[in-house]
Amino acid sequence: MTRTRREILGTGGGLAAFLSLFPLAAWASAVVDIRMQGSGDGSHVWFDPIGILIKPGQTVRWINLDSGNSHTTTAYNPANFHRPRRMPEAAKPWDSDYLLPSESFSVTFTEQGVYDYYCIPHEHAGMVGRIVVGEPQAHEWTELAGANGGLPEEALRAFPAVEDIMAKEIVRRHDYQQQGEP
Amino acid sequence: MKKLALALVATMASSVCAMAAADVAKSPPAAPYQQVSKLVKLPDFLPGMGQLFVDPATLPAGPFLAYDHDGKLVSTIYMLPIKDLNPDTRFDNLAAPGGNVDHVDVYYNAGHPGVDVPHAHVVLWHVPVADQARVAK
């Protein structure tokens, strides 16, 4: 897995419009975008999509499209603030640090497995996400789901099920909430 | 005589409040207030709130002083963690240096650097509702 430096995007609004032109199903390309978003009054914050299936070697780019807040993408790993490991042991953890509006951060995933991550200031508000790389073995995410130490209930409830990600490839936040799944 | 003393105290208190309000009416307010975007990584101007200043010693509750694009004070904001709104925690004697209050908003916020847990924003607006547009974006 390789991590890349943060990037400043010139036009956040233009980027949002650009992204909306492309159907999510078309994200079979090398780079997959995950938007960091929030409501105008800061009452809601989220990653979109919240769950994705990618191939080994693909890059994920997180982009802060929230004009009124900073966000992070931070892997659950003891290297990051002694958080429980919820990612493959062989993979390197990442932490973007705070991204201001229009900034982005990229990670290339090479190790097959399930990766859970969160936004530092918004974990307690359930701003988490899950990435499935390749075709992980069932026992891998069963063990991962057991690593709940210290995670707030709001975060645990927000993770989309690995099976759903495997079946749909992309799980949007709102789609998932409508299912009422934990 | 007693009435006179009370009137004097009230007048002095009013003068102190007016002086305090004058001290913070324009950006930047005097120390110990500091610009929030220089304390934590947040946009300098927050849509819906404005440019924020706070005395770091008062975190997380504040008061946060919010200014419009012209550096004029528009609101005083308190940020109260939801987990601290319980029978064992109180927020007493919070400073209120902003002067006259036109109206108050209270709403939930999911968190941000500086107050990174869900909390309530209690906003004392020093301007009419129509003037909130000055900090809308």
Question: Domain limits of chain A?
Answer: 2-179
- Does any CB of chain B come closer than 8 Å to the CB of residue A55? no
* Weakly modelled stretches of chain B, pLDDT under 50: 1, 4, 6, 8-17
Least confident of A54-58, A149-153, B6-10: B6-10
The pLDDT assigned to B23 comes to: 85
pLDDT at position A91 over 70: yes
pLDDT for residue A5? 54
Distance CA A17, CA A124 (A): 29
pLDDT above 70 (res A158): yes
Closest of B134, B137, B136 to residue B73, by C-alpha = B134
CATH architecture of the domain with residue range B2-135? 2-Layer Sandwich (3.30)
By the CB < 8 Å criterion, does B118 face chain A?
yes
By DSSP bridging, strand A31-38 and strand A59-64 are parallel
Does B113 contact chain A (CB < 8 Å)? yes
What pLDDT was estimated at residue B20? 60
Tokens standing for B53? 């200043």
The total number of residues shown for chain A amounts to 182
A152 touching B, CB under 8 A?
A: no
Please tell me the number of Cα atoms within 13 Å of A52 on its side-chain side: 27
The pLDDT score that the predictor gives to residue A112 is 94
Among B48, B49, B111, beta carbon nearest to A122: B111
Task: Label residue A18 by pLDDT band (50, 70, 90).
Answer: very low
pLDDT at A147: 65
H or E element, residue B75: strand B73-81
How many residues would you count in chain B? 137
- pLDDT surpasses 60 at A135: yes
CATH, range A2-179: 2.60.40.420
Residue A27 pLDDT: 45
Q: How confident is the model at residue A178 (pLDDT cuts 50, 70, 90)?
A: very low
Burial A31-60 (b: 16+ CB within 10 A, else e): ebbbbbbbeebbebbbbbbbbbbbeeebbb
Which chain B residues are within 8 Å of A98, Cβ to Cβ? 40-41, 113
Between CA B22 and CA A50 the distance in angstroms is 48
In this predicted structure, the answer to whether residue A20 has a pLDDT above a threshold of 50 is: no
Give the pLDDT confidence score for residue B22 in this predicted structure. Answer: 63
What DSSP character marks residue B83? G
Sequence-distant (≥ 6) Cβ neighbours of residue B47 within 8 angstroms: A40, A67, A68, B135, B136, B137
Q: Residue A99 in contact with residue A122, Cβ under 8 Å? A: no
On the question of pLDDT at A136 being above 60, the answer is yes
Q: What is the mean pLDDT of residues A127-139?
A: 87
Mutate one of B116, B135, B137 to test the A interface: name it (highest A CB count within 10 A): B116
Residue A19 has pLDDT above 50, yes or no: no
The mean pLDDT value for A34-63 works out to 96
B window 42-61, beta carbon within 8 A of A:
42-43, 46-49
Rounded to two decimals, the pTM is 0.81
- Closest-CA residue of A relative to B106 is A41
Chain A nearest CA to B98, separation (Å):
22
Token code pair at residue A8: 């400043």
Reported as half-sphere exposure (CB side, CA atoms, 13 A), residue B86 has a value of 5
CA–CA distances in Å: residue A56 to residues A17, A139, B113, B123, B133: 28, 19, 33, 48, 48
Give the residue extent of every domain in chain B.
Answer: 2-135
Q: Answer whether A124 sits within 8 Å of B117, measured CB to CB.
A: yes
Q: Which amino acid, residue B125?
A: W
Whether the complex's predicted ipTM is more than 0.85 is answered with: no
Q: Please give the Cα distance from A116 to B81 (Å, whole number).
A: 26
Average pLDDT over residues A148-169: 90
Contact criterion met (CB < 8 Å) for B118 and A45? no
